[in-house]
Structure 1
Amino acid sequence: MQTVFTTDQVHARDRFDYWHSVACQRIVEHETIPADRSNFAASIEVGGLGNLELVEFHNSPMQVSHTLAHSDRARPDQLFVCYQVSGSVFIAQNAREVTLSAGNLTLIDPLLPYDCRFLDGSKTLVVKVPRLELRARLGRNRELVARIVRPVRVDDSLTLTLTAMLPSLAATMAPVTEEMVGNHAVDLIALSIARTLEGETARVSSSKAILLARIRTAIDARLTDSNLHAQDIADAVGISVRYANELLSAQDTSIMQLVLARRLARCRFALEDPHQGHRTVSEIAYGWGFGDLTHFGRKFKAAYGTTPSECQMLARRM
């Protein structure tokens, strides 16, 4: 994570105005009223993990309003997963009001107006997730914004733990590893957010998110099987191949396309891993379920723009 702003090096009279301009650029446009302008303190750190943008910031108490005018200028391709690192913040969006305490997260849509009140000691992590990624897992359901994910279930605790770790993982791993971790994080976040609707009338998105997570889990558990077929995955999940592919079509993929993508990602990780430098390309490919080296090489180059051997040689030199 890179610090892009801190009030430590700014004169007291300029701190809030300077922070506000940077925050509008790095987080989202908004109007802000600080509780104490003369003693205002804040910092902003940014980073990335795969296709996720990370913004972590702390600030003195203040009120924030993201108005309809701000929403009209917001990026349409992102949704915000807000994880509260410390302190608390009051959030109101879509006719719901929640208080986000340390260790909880919620979903905010920057294309909708919202209001926040940050209390003393607040530190927040905003994970900017591609809208299509979450929509593929959750649908277009606006009822999912401003709902709190708490560590009530074991799997929700895993979601929150991994989300909290994302800043410490940024820029520490190979790109393929970051992509894998980011995808798993989005899977878990989507599943936990979807479950906040359980017990209410709008449950379609929740059931789809759970099925998508089960499909991905079933695939990951069987990648080494060179005889894996779409029917095997559908049987493991308890649905038809047609319905599974219908669910995955929202992400522009299918069972076997996802199997291929996962296998290629695993092979790339192995080829770039210095601890696996003794392994041959063929051993790695066969180990992850590929039965034809020519097919593997062609698909690998199409996905990553280099051959498996070139990938491994470059990793060894680096």
Structure 2
Amino acid sequence: MTQVVPLPDEDRLTGSLLSTDTVPAHRRREYWREALSRTFGAVDMSVPEEIDTGTIRTAPLGRLQVTTVDGDALDARRTRRLIAQGDDEAYVIVKLLTRGGARLEQDARDVSVGPGEVFIYDMSRPVRLSLAKCFRTTSLVVPRQVLGLREADLRQITASPFRSDTPLGGLLSVLLSRLADTAGAYRPHTREMLARNVVDLLTVLADERLGRGSAGTPGGDAAMLQQIRAFIGRHLADPDLTPEAVARAHHISVRYLHKIFQGEDTTVSRWIQSRRLEACRRELAHREAANRTIVAVAQRWGFTSAAHFSRVFRTAYGMSPSEWRATHRA
């Protein structure tokens, strides 16, 4: 098993450190593969036979995690089999390549990435990442639900690098670099506040990349919309998550909340319901969730009526929850 290397007392707020430096040479390859999978989720990992050195430093940032990795060449694949077998939470990885070269394949795109560029991939769908020898990356590991993006929108920004000479790429690279240097220095409450602001920024940047930006709603409505979507993503499991509760949390009227959502071609209630359905659909597809009843999964994501859940699931996906589970497993 991979062991976490204890940090000095003055560095304990920075999270954890995994390093091959204290591991005998004949065990480094196994240690390194396990350390990477432990950090980013189950993957089929190819690494060199001989590992010179490798370090992974992580720091919590609310529900997010900031991770810096230094290492030799590797090739990582997240396959459909691993996705189906896993019971881990779905994550989106926002990664800055500081040193070396990378190749990323996801959603029918195959791109090369150079130093200073930022790219995004989704661990809930198949992905392949190859990193050249002597690389360094800084990653923001974001729970998928927290990000609050539609699945169709997320597919549009994966494997589509933010180049370093663009405003978005420059902003993201500076953000990730600073978080890597400072995330561990903050107290838990400050980290939580920072995480919320980072998620809001990421969703705004995603909308800019998708060509929406502030054009969809006037003035500050676009920024407010992204904050609300991220808030909904963080509170999906709360059965009391209603338009009234959302409006109250953001100190706005329900009428103004509905006005903000006019450009989304949906209502607030339907947005909440669609995000909950996506979460249930993903969980029902996991083999590790086989022992959980459909009712338990529905309740976990805020549905209080089994009959209502079954009805809206069939309407959204054309089959019942049990049929979806059986079909996906088959």
TM-score tier (shorter): 0.5 to 0.7
CA distance in 1 between counterparts of 2:159 and 2:216 reads 19
The amino acid across from 1:242 in the alignment is H
Q: How much is the aligned-residue C-alpha RMSD, in angstroms?
A: 3.3
Q: Do 2:64 and 2:140's aligned partners in 1 also have CA atoms closer than 8 Å?
A: yes
Counterparts in 2 of 1:205 and 1:213: CA distance versus 1, 3 Å: closer
Distance apart, 1:111 and its partner CA: 1.2
Residue 13 of structure 1: SS of its match in structure 2? helix
Output the TM-score relative to the length of structure 2. Answer: 0.59
The residue that corresponds to 1:140 in the other structure is: 151
Determine which of 48, 63, 67 is the counterpart of 1:51.
63
Counterparts in 2 of 1:56 and 1:229: CA distance versus 1, 3 Å: closer
Determine which of 131, 154, 177 is the counterpart of 1:164.
177
The amino acid across from 1:213 in the alignment is A
The residue that corresponds to 1:119 in the other structure is: 132
Q: Do 2:214 and 2:222's aligned partners in 1 also have CA atoms closer than 8 Å?
A: no
Distance apart, 1:17 and its partner CA: 0.7
Counterparts in 2 of 1:56 and 1:207: CA distance versus 1, 3 Å: farther
Deviations 1:138-171 (A, max 9, x none): 3222222111112444454223211221122223
CA distance in 2 between counterparts of 1:113 and 1:229 reads 40
Residue 111 of structure 2: SS of its match in structure 1? strand
CA distance in 1 between counterparts of 2:257 and 2:116 reads 38
The residue that corresponds to 1:65 in the other structure is: 77
Counterparts in 2 of 1:159 and 1:38: CA distance versus 1, 3 Å: closer
Q: Do 1:42 and 1:58's aligned partners in 2 also have CA atoms closer than 8 Å?
A: yes
CA distance in 1 between counterparts of 2:64 and 2:221 reads 23
Q: Among the aligned pairs, what percent are the same residue?
A: 20
Q: Do 2:116 and 2:173's aligned partners in 1 also have CA atoms closer than 8 Å?
A: yes
Distance apart, 1:230 and its partner CA: 4.3
Counterparts in 2 of 1:204 and 1:182: CA distance versus 1, 3 Å: closer
The residue that corresponds to 2:24 in the other structure is: 11
Determine which of 6, 23, 26 is the counterpart of 2:36.
23
Task: State which structure, 1 or 2, has the greater radius of gyration over its C-alpha atoms.
Answer: 1
Counterparts in 2 of 1:103 and 1:183: CA distance versus 1, 3 Å: farther
The residue that corresponds to 1:37 in the other structure is: 49
The residue that corresponds to 1:94 in the other structure is: 107
Q: Do 2:16 and 2:59's aligned partners in 1 also have CA atoms closer than 8 Å?
A: no
The residue that corresponds to 2:199 in the other structure is: 186
List alignment gaps of at least 5 residues for structure 2. 1-13, 228-249, 273-330
The amino acid across from 2:184 in the alignment is A
Q: Do 1:106 and 1:193's aligned partners in 2 also have CA atoms closer than 8 Å?
A: no
Determine which of 226, 242, 247 is the counterpart of 2:258.
242
Which range moves more in the overlay, 151-160 or 138-147? Answer: 151-160
Deviations 1:22-63 (A, max 9, x none): 2212221112222x3124421111111122122221210122
Counterparts in 2 of 1:205 and 1:147: CA distance versus 1, 3 Å: farther
1:213 aligns with 2:259: no
Distance apart, 1:101 and its partner CA: 2.2
Count of matched residue pairs: 228
Counterparts in 2 of 1:241 and 1:214: CA distance versus 1, 3 Å: closer
Q: Do 2:74 and 2:132's aligned partners in 1 also have CA atoms closer than 8 Å?
A: yes
Output the TM-score relative to the length of structure 1. Answer: 0.61
Counterparts in 2 of 1:124 and 1:155: CA distance versus 1, 3 Å: closer
CA distance in 2 between counterparts of 1:124 and 1:149 reads 15
Distance apart, 1:20 and its partner CA: 0.9
